[in-house]
């Protein structure tokens, strides 16, 4: 049940959406605990007074002694009738609740699938835009050269061979091929050989092609930019909702623990990979590094990391675009390290720009989580599930998005405001109108200004951290890391 909503929502703990709803509702609860509750539609919640009165009645009845034995048979019959009517009403209410519960479940799954579709669509649009940008740049270069040669009276047939050999359709092909193989992989079965071949072909075709340079190609950056998550876990690998296949293991220099390489196997050709390695200093800390963007719909449980990776890579992209020379600006990025938190850091150190999320400490959040929901929600799994394994993970991108959003504000990165905590969609290079951005900013500010927001946020994130770090309840190295990371704007 969700007291905050005023009506029960019976999602089974095994339901992938169960914990998500718990955290969401908890957040709403925290936001609204001093005011009348509203449901998702902003309408007043339905209450079921009969349920309470009925339960009280039954309870009272169960606890009653034999004092009523002396009453007459007629009053007993009346009592029975009243109870029967009450029972009937209770049953009716129960039916209503079940129906509503069912509707809510359907809504939830609908929203989840919509979210997945939107995410895919966003990725596609972004890629398309980037391709168009690259294409137009190439065409401008070609036209510029031609114009220049005409101006200098160079004969009509002396176009450099490079351009001669590239009719527009070929330029198109080259542009699309050079987009890091992700497009190729998304439409054709995966072949790393082909990937390699494509890359080689591109390089041979045009060695100076900027789109093949990982440092300048946004697509390449999208693939190369990484999100690293540090979390305490005894398990060999954190479960993040995706299916992975191990394709390699290596001993890395300076670390006695081997590094394992995994590839996403949820869809054929998904380019997402991850590396898992234990920290040399503290082997309970597991570092998982994600790279790439999923090219397929994700289950709710896997949404978190996907969104986070997209968010991070998009931000890194934005950072690279915001620099004058179009290259990644290390100063800008390294300067973007959270001014108010040590939870997330941005590193532009070679070879790949990486966002590192350190979830190895935050005992307060965990304690809050363990105290509050367990007393309120009988359905709450206890202890929390493994890190990233539960459907609570959609909370993570919200948190991270907020962190990234804060970073973008401090670093001057062009990060779309839809990364705010109210929207777990991946951020995009700013596509919104200024007015939209302002309103989103207001929304974000309003939400984060809410005094209950830190508690709700810490509860949500700690539900994620909890499973990964069953032993860190008393690890109080940094008690307010999330609060400071997300609230101080």
- The site string for DNA over 102-141 (x = CB under 7 A, - otherwise) reads ----------------------------------------
Residue 207 in the binding site for DNA (CB under 7 A)? no
Among 53, 143, 265, 436, binds DNA (CB under 7 A): 265
Residue 232 in the binding site for DNA (CB under 7 A)? no
d(Cα 79, Cα 65) in Å, to the nearest integer?
15
Among 2, 7, 115, 244, binds DNA (CB under 7 A): 244
Our CB check for DNA shows the closer of 41 and 253 to be 253
Residue 41 in the binding site for DNA (CB under 7 A)? no
Our CB check for DNA shows the closer of 165 and 265 to be 265
> Nearest distance from residue 49's CB to DNA, in Å?
51
Stretch of 73-81, 103-111, 254-262, 440-448 contacting DNA, by CB under 7 A: 254-262
Among 31, 232, 273, 398, binds DNA (CB under 7 A): 273
- Indicate the length of the chain as a whole number: 489
Please confirm whether the linkage preceding 61 is cis (ω < 30° from 0).
no
Residue 243 in the binding site for DNA (CB under 7 A)? yes
Stretch of 76-84, 148-156, 246-254, 335-343 contacting DNA, by CB under 7 A: 246-254
Our CB check for DNA shows the closer of 149 and 213 to be 213
> Nearest distance from residue 260's CB to DNA, in Å?
7
Stretch of 34-42, 131-139, 259-267, 406-414 contacting DNA, by CB under 7 A: 259-267
Among 60, 253, 324, 325, binds DNA (CB under 7 A): 253
**Interface with DNA in residues 176-195 (CB under 7 A):** 192-193, 195
d(Cα 295, Cα 313) in Å, to the nearest integer?
15
- Residue 322 near residue 407 (C-beta atoms within 8 A): no
Our CB check for DNA shows the closer of 292 and 373 to be 292
Residue 327 in the binding site for DNA (CB under 7 A)? no
Among 66, 245, 375, 434, binds DNA (CB under 7 A): 245
**Interface with DNA in residues 437-476 (CB under 7 A):** none
Residue 275 in the binding site for DNA (CB under 7 A)? yes
Residue 259 in the binding site for DNA (CB under 7 A)? yes
Binding-site size for DNA (CB under 7 A) equals 25
Stretch of 72-80, 101-109, 245-253, 362-370 contacting DNA, by CB under 7 A: 245-253
332-361 core/surface letters (b: 16 or more CB in 10 A; e: else): bbeebbbebbebbbbbbeeebbbbbbbbbb
> Nearest distance from residue 163's CB to DNA, in Å?
25
Our CB check for DNA shows the closer of 180 and 377 to be 180
Residue 350 in the binding site for DNA (CB under 7 A)? yes
Our CB check for DNA shows the closer of 276 and 303 to be 276
Residue 290 in the binding site for DNA (CB under 7 A)? no
> Nearest distance from residue 195's CB to DNA, in Å?
6
Among 248, 383, 412, 451, binds DNA (CB under 7 A): 248
Place of tokens 């876990």: 233
Q: List interacting residues with DNA (CB under 7 A).
A: 192-193, 195-196, 200, 243-254, 259-261, 265, 273, 275, 350-351
């Amino acid at each position: 049940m969700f007291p905050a909503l005023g009506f029960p929502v019976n999602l089974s703990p095994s339901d992938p959406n169960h914990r998500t709803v718990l955290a969401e509702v908890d957040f709403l609860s925290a936001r609204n605990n001093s005011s009348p509750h509203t449901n998702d539609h902003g309408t007043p919640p339905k209450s079921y007074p009969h349920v309470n009165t009925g339960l009280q009645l039954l309870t009272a009845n169960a606890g009653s002694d034999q004092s009523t034995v002396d009453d007459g048979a007629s009053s007993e019959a009346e009592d029975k009738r009243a109870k029967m009517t009450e029972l009937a009403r209770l049953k009716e209410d129960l039916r209503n609740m079940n129906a509503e519960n069912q509707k809510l479940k359907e809504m939830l799954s609908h929203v989840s699938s919509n979210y997945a579709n939107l995410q895919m669509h966003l990725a596609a649009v972004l890629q398309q835009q980037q391709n168009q940008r690259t294409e137009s740049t190439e065409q401008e270069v070609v036209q510029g050269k031609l114009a220049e040669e005409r101006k200098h009276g160079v004969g009509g047939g002396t176009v450099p061979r490079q351009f001669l050999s590239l009719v527009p359709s070929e330029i198109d092909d080259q542009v699309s091929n050079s987009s890091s193989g992700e497009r190729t992989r998304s439409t054709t079965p995966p072949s790393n050989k082909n990937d390699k071949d494509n890359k080689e072909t591109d390089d041979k075709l045009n060695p100076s092609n900027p789109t093949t340079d990982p440092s300048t190609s946004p697509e390449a950056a999208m693939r190369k930019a990484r999100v690293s998550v540090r979390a305490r876990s005894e398990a060999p690998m954190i479960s993040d909702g995706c299916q992975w296949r191990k394709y390699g293991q290596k001993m890395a220099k300076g670390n006695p623990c081997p590094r394992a390489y995994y590839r996403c196997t949820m869809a054929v050709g998904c380019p997402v990979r991850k590396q898992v390695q234990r920290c040399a200093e503290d082997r309970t800390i597991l570092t998982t590094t994600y790279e790439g963007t999923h090219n397929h719909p994700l289950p709710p449980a896997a949404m978190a990391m996907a969104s986070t990776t997209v968010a991070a890579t998009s931000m890194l992209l934005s950072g690279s675009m915001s620099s004058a020379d179009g290259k990644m600006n290390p100063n800008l990025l390294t300067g973007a390290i959270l001014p108010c938190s040590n939870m997330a850091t941005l590193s532009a150190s070679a070879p790949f720009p990486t966002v590192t999320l350190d979830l190895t400490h935050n005992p307060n959040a965990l304690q809050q989580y363990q105290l509050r929901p367990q007393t309120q929600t009988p359905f709450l799994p206890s202890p929390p599930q493994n890190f990233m394994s539960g459907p609570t993970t959609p909370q993570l991108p919200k948190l991270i998005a907020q962190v990234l959003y804060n970073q973008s504000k401090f670093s001057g990165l062009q990060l779309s405001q839809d990364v705010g905590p109210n929207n777990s969609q991946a951020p995009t290079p700013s596509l919104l109108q200024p007015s939209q951005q302002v309103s989103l900013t207001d929304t974000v500010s309003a939400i984060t200004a809410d005094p209950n927001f830190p508690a709700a946020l810490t509860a949500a994130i700690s539900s994620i951290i909890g499973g990964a770090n069953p032993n860190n309840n008393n690890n109080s190295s940094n008690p307010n890391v999330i609060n400071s990371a997300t609230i101080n704007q």
